[in-house]
Amino acid sequence: MHRICLGNTVFEGLNNAYLFPYEQTTLIDTGVDTPAVRTELRAALDEVGYSLADIDRVLLTHYHPDHSGLAAAIQDAGGASVHVHEADAPMVRKDEAAWASFEERQQTCYDEWDIPTDKRTELRAEMASSMDLYGPPVRVTPFVDGDRFKLGIYSLEVVHTPGHTAGQCCFVDRERGTVFSGDTLLPHYTPNVGGADVRMDESLEQYLTSLDRLIEGKFDHALPGHREAIVDPAACARDIVRHHEERAYRIVAYLDEAGPATTWEVSDHLFGDLESIHILHGPGEAHAHLEHLCMADDIEKTDGGYTLAPETATRLRDDEGDRWPLRVSS
């Protein structure tokens, strides 16, 4: 198996693609569709004696362009099959109805999250300019949780880990204790939840459940979608849970101090001034937390914004820590 490092335009930095040069040559993730990254991928494949046309199969961890963008170029070069979870398949094949619904949902979120007009204008321009990064439509073969792929000495099981996107998946080699984690686990960043895929409801709830699956898996190491390997995936997952509990505490403490607040006001408290795609990701993550806290009856949504439930204010004053436990429903 060869790890291929590819450039990126934004977000977490260098992308990883993983090449399995066996009887059915397989690539996990592809990088974003830009001329520079396409050149990088071709050069990396050439170093190990392969070309785009030699790839028989592409497995995608999720639909975002920095993971799926070059799938069409690979498919066009040699007819590779492209596989992605059924929840993200419409996005990769550029289903018009799915994308229209997605864009309509984004507009609704702009209203619900009280994003200011000037920031909406900036965000729409950013979104429009980034559409080419997704590449052309792709013929896809959907998979589901529990499906398996044989890649030479590797037997990879699909583990559905929604949160970052509805169809985000990991590919797990249980024999070697390896998890190809896509954006579910990252070494230096916590994946965005809420803004990265507005199609989802209860995205934080789903992500916490996904992290629990990876903790319970007791994997030896993770090979993520960005940057270097993760030597203790369970510890990384626990750190992310802790991060979200610390963020939840900040939100609860802010609502206690500031009174009713909108999603945008909570986002501003957490992240400050936002630019580019982060205008979506910031309030999206704030919304994911507010939604989760409402489900737990820790806060309430009123016409004036979000406010603490009476018993939450009491708990907060008795709490000497800096984390707010995030319960996951069974």
Contact 185, 240 (CB under 8 A): yes
Q: Say how many C-beta atoms besides its own lie within 10 A of residue 177's C-beta.
A: 14
Where residue 317 falls among pLDDT bands split at 50, 70, 90?
A: confident
Contact 241, 326 (CB under 8 A): yes
Residue 305 in this model has a pLDDT that exceeds 60:
yes
Q: Which CATH number fits domain 2-93+133-237: 3.30.70.2740, 3.60.15.10, 3.30.430.20, 3.10.150.10?
A: 3.60.15.10
Q: pLDDT tens for residues 143-162? A: 999 999 999 888 999 999 99
Residue 52 in this model has a pLDDT that exceeds 90:
yes
**Amino acid identity at 75:** Q
Average of pLDDT values for 16-27? 95
Residue 90 in this model has a pLDDT that exceeds 90:
yes
Task: Specify the pLDDT at position 328.
Answer: 72
Residue 13 in this model has a pLDDT that exceeds 80:
no
Residue 229 in this model has a pLDDT that exceeds 90:
yes
Where residue 8 falls among pLDDT bands split at 50, 70, 90?
A: confident
Average of pLDDT values for 323-330? 80
Task: Specify the pLDDT at position 23.
Answer: 87
Where residue 319 falls among pLDDT bands split at 50, 70, 90?
A: confident
Burial code (b: 16+ CB inside 10 Å, e: under 16) for 227-259 equals beebeebbebbeebbeebbebbbbbbbbbeeee
**Polymer length in residues for the chain:** 330
Burial code (b: 16+ CB inside 10 Å, e: under 16) for 82-95 equals bbbbebbbbbbbbe
Residue 201 in this model has a pLDDT that exceeds 90:
yes
pTM of the model: 0.95
Task: Specify the pLDDT at position 321.
Answer: 81
Task: Specify the pLDDT at position 12.
Answer: 60
Average of pLDDT values for 61-79? 97
Contact 6, 41 (CB under 8 A): yes
The pLDDT mean for the chain works out to 94
Place of tokens 């080699």: 173
- Give the single-character DSSP code of 300: E
CA distance 270 to 142: 37
CATH 1.10.10.10 corresponds to the domain 243-318? yes
Task: Specify the pLDDT at position 318.
Answer: 83
In sequence order, what are the residues at sequence separation of 6 or more whose Cβ sits closer than 8 angstroms to the Cβ of residue 109? 115, 198, 280, 283, 284, 287
Contact 79, 243 (CB under 8 A): no
- For the chain, the domains span 2-93+133-237, 243-318
**Amino acid identity at 36:** A
